Structure 1
């Protein structure tokens, strides 16, 4: 790769060849271009041997590497990594190989990060991304414990928190549950990572359908037309009501393979982000206070938060770019 101040780029090498072919001495051309005779003769020889292709930069990788780790040892290193999830410090003594060598082998085969592997099978996870917004939307539900009025054990002594919990249970016995769980329904666009979430009291099919209708309207505002929806195999998503709702809107319903949350990984990652940056980012005094904070988080996530998978840009930037590309 040519550095910024290089005397000869590919264009300069072609100019060198043109002047030499015109009948001028190589030494004279080299002096004019500010390079050595050795360098000039090198490019002339390459051009005569390979033609125009010889004027391009070559890889600095050596043709032979006699001291490279044997193939059978590399294969055994990869097997231990996939089957037992061991690191270089553990694999090295087993195979009598330095840990630094093990690390280089794992890096070469893209096994140096456990998060890149599917834990049950040890296979490298093949990540994908749809080409345009709306081509695929991931939908999922996350169950989250409710907070008794007055606060839980995160903001006060556990004895007092238990008293708040017991009081809330007695006051609302037979009514809508305060102590129990909230259900975070979430949808995220595969291409842009634009996300939408709601806190609901259950995960029944009627709630899932109502949530999707509001989510679909949310995606329609910036001009996203949803084509497919990907869910897991929860009972609310297997219901005929949910399927008919999607079909009526011309949306194809896809479901993941059982026990394969990696397929729905983008919404699973958003669920984790919700926990880290909204649900557990600070102590709340009630479930209502936590629910109220969700709207501010979603606005920050969609319009201001930098996303590593998007080159440091927020999700809305991809929606705007795609709108200009496909308009």
Structure 2
């Protein structure tokens, strides 16, 4: 009869055999364990007796690399406030709002969300590398267009949305609500986008009857095809039943449904639905990072074509409708005290007003939102606004410039609410002169990349999520903080002509104050390829063993150079000060022999 004995009893039997005179090697072989295990059992038995042979936890006493509790709490708070955010978006916003400790990896963020029950584990799908993705090389080369439903109105009817997305930048160029998706309504939406952004080289659509007569019995040419042909646009069609070909605009539809339509009650009217979708479209283009763009914003990659001065060619029947549907001038408004103000106030009329940035960092003026970030919360900013542009200044230094959505009525409301007539614009309009210093505001994405002139430039992972001012001054790229302190200086990756074409660029202000030279010390690489500075061990590589390297100290990183070659840049994890500046440790003094 076989009897199962416990692990403790087996260990006890092994200890008794050794104490009875058997060798450790024979006992280890008989029980199928290593000799070190038998020695551990003997030590446990001598120290604690029979209780010491019981199973014990293998959990380590400490975990130095464990995520700080305050960082974990911030991750959970971001997820609870925004249930649709995944690990990548939470990681991006973690760097954007300011992480109280070292920024964890995406996998760590995902595990934290799973551990707290904020994300459900799902079986792994196909890897991202398995998908074949395509993207045009520059904006305005291809637009994808489609029609989506789901706009429920209060009268029980359902409206449609004519949508269009730029293939390179994912910038939404069309989001027009129509009662019925007729061919004329789709063409009117397209014409409005062409007038606002210019003419793309190609248009990609499905085989809907609004876009083509490909499957119509009578054949012929629909109005959409005619507009494309007469304005030099190549109209491309997908294969039947292949929605993945227009995957970018379909993905925009998914975001529109998830973030707006699914949880929204029926709209009162088409105009009410258009207002809500316009707000979503603005947020989608300017303040919503895209994983497909390495967490960049579509507005940073999109550049409209100014056109060549040739007017759009439209069919006569459609041209008449365009003229009739032009928005009428708003009625005149009367101030509380004063004469009637005409809505035809000149565009040059400007207003200056002071406002305090709220705790969220999102400043609102007459319904238009301006993102400044929590770093500016509680500070007073000066707003210079007219009907074309809005400048935001802090102590005379420009923070950002955005297109204005304010009307003359809004400007006069600001005048009655503590504002004053604005002087000349703080930033001159027009293109920036080639060869002069330019500045532009950008947010560094979660992987430490800066978007300039339609390309991503690495500037350092330690700056991920920060809002910086990029100053291009001849051959140097300066990254400036909110107080115009130099965060980092790098070689300028753009030519003078490219720098002059950067979107939202402005002439550079005064040069930043020179920063003190960084501390540099020498270290000799050990035989195992590592060095130690301020009690932090850094692995340089065994290939550099025995060489003397230079370590440059920064606020958050250490940079290791071998001559002029940058070997590595690691995040600083020590709070100790650098106390040794030579490559070798000083040898202790030798004692003299008394003989």
Q: TM-score, normalised by structure 1?
A: 0.50
Q: Which has the higher helix share?
A: 1
Q: Which has the higher strand share?
A: 2
If you compute each CA radius of gyration, which structure gives the higher value, 1 or 2?
2
- Point out which structure has higher relative CO (alpha carbons under 8 A, 6+ apart): 1
